[in-house]
Copies of this chain bind each other. A is one copy, B any other.
């Protein structure tokens, strides 16, 4: 039986992908005490293809960027579920880090990152309101348009 949070995801038409397992000596999450640290997730869709590739302000539109940030957030949630089994065990989305693959003249990073923030609140309600840092970076792995990492509090 799906918990409250996963029913909410379902209502939003979001199915969590099988989370990506890095082919490397790092892993997708580490829990220490009540804190779960989730590795940076790029904007791959459920089939593993990038939702948007390239730079905001140079080929990728803010709207596409927002969808990319939402895809990152979905991948972050897939890792949280893999870590704790049931998303209802999340007592707080603590912090999201938003990295926007940006042309040096692109100023709308926060708008792009709202694609991730909005999903957290749509899914978790007030527990989904988080601290956030958004910056425009020179480039991201595989030329992904957006990368998001997270810290969660777990019951």
Q: Does A151 contact B (CB under 8 A)?
A: yes
Q: Are B27 and A139 in contact (CB under 8 A)?
A: no
The complex places the Cα of A34 from the Cα of B29 at a distance, in Å, of: 18
Q: Does A33 contact B (CB under 8 A)?
A: yes
Q: Are A129 and B26 in contact (CB under 8 A)?
A: yes
Report A128-149 CB contacts with B as 1/0, cut-off 8 Å: 1111111111111111000101
Q: Are B26 and A117 in contact (CB under 8 A)?
A: yes
Q: Are B141 and A138 in contact (CB under 8 A)?
A: no
- Among B24, B30, B107, B147, the residue within 8 A (CB) of A139 is B107
- What residues of chain B lie closer than 8 Å to A132, measured between beta carbons? 22, 26, 39-40
Residue of B nearest to A97 (CB): B133
Total identical chains: 3
Q: Are A140 and B109 in contact (CB under 8 A)?
A: yes
Q: Does A61 contact B (CB under 8 A)?
A: no
- What residues of chain B lie closer than 8 Å to A92, measured between beta carbons? 30, 32
- What residues of chain B lie closer than 8 Å to A96, measured between beta carbons? 26
Q: Does A46 contact B (CB under 8 A)?
A: no
- What residues of chain B lie closer than 8 Å to A151, measured between beta carbons? 37
The complex places the Cα of A55 from the Cα of B105 at a distance, in Å, of: 10
Q: Does A118 contact B (CB under 8 A)?
A: yes
Which of A30, A34, A107, A130 has the most chain B CB atoms closer than 10 A to its own CB? A30
Residue of B nearest to A56 (CB): B139
